[in-house]
Structures are given as structure tokens and as C-alpha cells.
Amino acid sequence: MNTLIFFIAGLSHIWNGDAVNFSGGLKSNYTFPKDFVFGVSTAAIQIEGASNEDGKTESIWDNLVRTNPKFTKDGSTPAVAADSHGIAEYLCAHNLLKAHASVYHLFDRQYRPIYGGKIGMSLDSNWAEPKGNTSSDVKAAELYLKTHLGWYAHPVYSSEGNYPPELIKLVDEKSRLQNYTRSRLPKFTPEEVEHIKGTADFFGLNHYTTYLLSMADGEVGQIPSHENDVGIVRVQNPKWPSMSSSDWLKVVPFGFRRLLAWISKTYNNVPIIVTENGYADFSGIHDTARVTYYCHYLNALLHAIHEDKSNVHGYFAWSLMDNWEWDDGFVSRFGLYLVDFESKNKTRTAKDSARLYSSVVSSRGLPDNYDPEDYSAFSGASTILIPTVLLLLPMYRLLL
């Protein structure tokens, strides 16, 4: 319900910037470095199914959709995949960060000496662009990154550790005004700050799209909530290029490049691995929109590496094959391989995007005929306007 209100607010503030240059960079001959790692990502719950077989037990997502059958667009659950309150969000993040740190130290102490390897954390983030050219909107965009991505990243990746000072100040102050006896944001002890700081060998980034930010006029979101505490509003221009089954998935390659630069600058040039990036459609083998999305985002990535000197070491396309896409059920398809969910064998067929990705990996660069200015694959308006629970998604993804 909350999200619906939010979306209507978005439509009523149609942003006056049609002449945007979305390009992540000019045509170039840049190639990916020799030791750059390519891969394709997927998640067990989204493709495995069989939550009740072989002693595999229910995950939080199995439980969420079993107890809330209307949660997904098509009523599906992940139980048969290629066979997402008022909850204590701050406490949840707090425990997660402490648990993460304990696992890191365990790995570092006990397993790394034997097996080697690297361990990090994957965080989902949009890029935040100021909605207009005002200092208030510039502040809102920076505040979004610091209090959303930074909520999880600052304790682990910053030199100081702990939650971002901006978040601590906002939640402490709001809690006081609301007559709580103490802040709703739990506090780390100095020992915990040290225990959590630096517990990652790399920064895993999941990235898909960009939003426009401004400061809220009054109260936003439920009271109390993280959204209400931070007090900013995010929208997208409905005219931005997209033709995705996920209406939030606007194609804004420069946002990817700017986000990589922001992470590099904010977190001491940490090695970054892009652990998810991709595009959703309804189906089909000739997926020109997905091919174009990957080309534009990989072009932005090449410019990030060669021109901005962002410290990116790897890239994983989301995803290997069509899967159970959280609240979109089986409607949205992100795969490089098409899965025929009707067939007994769940037959897989390579899409055009699978061939494109394979050529990028072998040539270490983009196809000769790639045109950074070509957005014709997205000329249609976004197709369906079903509100999603996107606001909650970054946390669910992280919890898996």
C-alpha cells in the first residue's frame, strides 16, 4: 500500500529532463584487463525448487510466499522453480552485520590458511541522481547512498567503521522526538565496531537501475520506519528508456559508472566485483533489449575501469537462466537461457544475449557494431505498472 502511494507520487512529479544523455561513455576500443573475472550468477532458491526434498528445509523466502500466497504477481512459489510489517529492520541489519563479521573471522582464522580464497559481502544498490539542480536535491541523493548502501557498507568498508554518522544522527533525533527512551537504531560497542570493520576482501555489488532523489516535504513512509527516519523521496522518469517486465528497470548506464566511482571514492578504492547486473523481459529467444542493456552497461563498466580508475575486478551477469523472480514470480525473465517451464524437462535454450555475453568474454570487449547512442530497443514505454515491494528487496536479497 505504501509503495502504491509512493508510485502515484512519482507520476505526479514528472521530471522535466527528456534530453538526458544516458551514455556510460563514448565509443571506444577499451577491453577488459587480462585478470578480469567474468561469470554468470544465480541463486539456489530461484532455480532449485524442491524445498521439501532430500532434507532441504524451508528458507525465509519459501516461508514468506507459503504464508502470503498473493505476494507474487502470478501466485507462484519457488517450491517448483526452474523446478520476497512493521518488522524490526534496524535490529535485523544489526544482527546480520555481527553474524557476517563472525563468519568472516571464522573463515580467516580456520579455513583461509587451508583453502585460500576470498570472502566478501554483496550489497544491492541503485544509483541516486539529484532530481533537480538544487543543493537540496544534491543532498538528498548523497543521503540516499549513505543511508541505504552505507547502512550496511559503512560498518564493513569505511575507515571509521560503525553506521554512517548521518544515519545515527537522523534515527537518534527522530526517536527522541517520538519519545522513545532510547534510539531505535541499536548501537555497536567499540569492540563490535572493530570486530566488523574490514571484514571483507572485496565489495560485491548488485546493480540494475537509477533513481532521482529529493528531500521529502513532510513525513514519508510508515511511522516509525527507516524510510520515515531518512525523509527522502525517490522517483524515476517514466519516459526513461525501458521496455522491461519490471517497470522499475530503467536503462541508465551512466548511473552504473557513477555508482562504481562513488564506491571507490567512499570506501578507499576497495576491490569491487559486480555480483549481479541484468535485464528482465517477458520471454523470447531474440532478446534485443537484453543484448542492448548488457552492451550499454558493459560499456559503462569499461569506462569506469579505464577512465575513472574504479577498482573493478569482476562481473557476473544476472542471470544464467530464467528463474523464480521474487515478487514477480515466473512473469519476469532475467535469463541468458530461456527455460520452458511447461516442459517436463524444463528445456533450456540459449538466447541472443547468451551469444553476446559469450563473445564479450572471449574477445574481452564489445562487438564492433555496438553503438553507445542506440536506445531503439527500448523505444516503447514501460509495459505494466504493477507496484512492487522493491523498497524491501535490497534487504531480502542480502538476507539470503
Q: Give the residues lining the site for ligand NAG (CB under 6 A).
A: 21, 23, 25-29, 133, 178-179, 254, 345
CB of 210 to ligand NAG, least distance (A): 13
- The nearer residue to ligand NAG, 83 or 201, going by C-beta atoms, is 83
- The nearer residue to ligand NAG, 161 or 255, going by C-beta atoms, is 255
**CA separation for the pair 361, 231 (Å, rounded):** 42
Please list, in sequence order, all residues whose beta carbon lies within 8 angstroms of the beta carbon of residue 76, skipping any fewer than 6 positions away.
65, 324, 329, 330
CB of 261 to ligand NAG, least distance (A): 11
Task: Give the alpha-carbon dihedral of 298, 241, 257, 149, to 10 degrees.
Answer: -120
Residues in the chain: 400
- The nearer residue to ligand NAG, 25 or 164, going by C-beta atoms, is 25
CB of 162 to ligand NAG, least distance (A): 27
SS3 (DSSP) at 297: helix
Q: Would you state the cell numbers that stand for residue 180, as one nine-digit string?
A: 522513545
**CA separation for the pair 77, 103 (Å, rounded):** 30
- The nearer residue to ligand NAG, 13 or 27, going by C-beta atoms, is 27
- The nearer residue to ligand NAG, 109 or 344, going by C-beta atoms, is 344
N-term to C-term CA, the chain: 25
Is residue 196 within 8 Å of residue 161, measured between CB atoms?
yes
- The nearer residue to ligand NAG, 12 or 345, going by C-beta atoms, is 345
- The nearer residue to ligand NAG, 22 or 316, going by C-beta atoms, is 22
DSSP lists the bridge partners of residue 128 as 211
Is residue 341 within 8 Å of residue 349, measured between CB atoms?
no
CB of 358 to ligand NAG, least distance (A): 22
**CA separation for the pair 334, 348 (Å, rounded):** 13
Please list, in sequence order, all residues whose beta carbon lies within 8 angstroms of the beta carbon of residue 53, skipping any fewer than 6 positions away.
none
- The nearer residue to ligand NAG, 300 or 312, going by C-beta atoms, is 300
- The nearer residue to ligand NAG, 13 or 105, going by C-beta atoms, is 13
Q: Which one, of 295, 388, 248, lies nearest residue 27 by Cα?
A: 295
Please list, in sequence order, all residues whose beta carbon lies within 8 angstroms of the beta carbon of residue 6, skipping any fewer than 6 positions away.
233, 387, 391
CB of 87 to ligand NAG, least distance (A): 21
**CA separation for the pair 168, 163 (Å, rounded):** 7
CB of 132 to ligand NAG, least distance (A): 9
Gyration radius from the chain CA atoms: 21
CB of 61 to ligand NAG, least distance (A): 28
CB of 254 to ligand NAG, least distance (A): 6
Count the Cβ atoms, other than its own, within 10 Å of residue 143. Answer: 21
Is residue 378 within 8 Å of residue 243, measured between CB atoms?
yes
**CA separation for the pair 373, 24 (Å, rounded):** 10
Cis omega before residue 165 (within 30°)?
no
**CA separation for the pair 260, 254 (Å, rounded):** 10
CB of 193 to ligand NAG, least distance (A): 30
- The nearer residue to ligand NAG, 27 or 105, going by C-beta atoms, is 27
CB of 135 to ligand NAG, least distance (A): 8
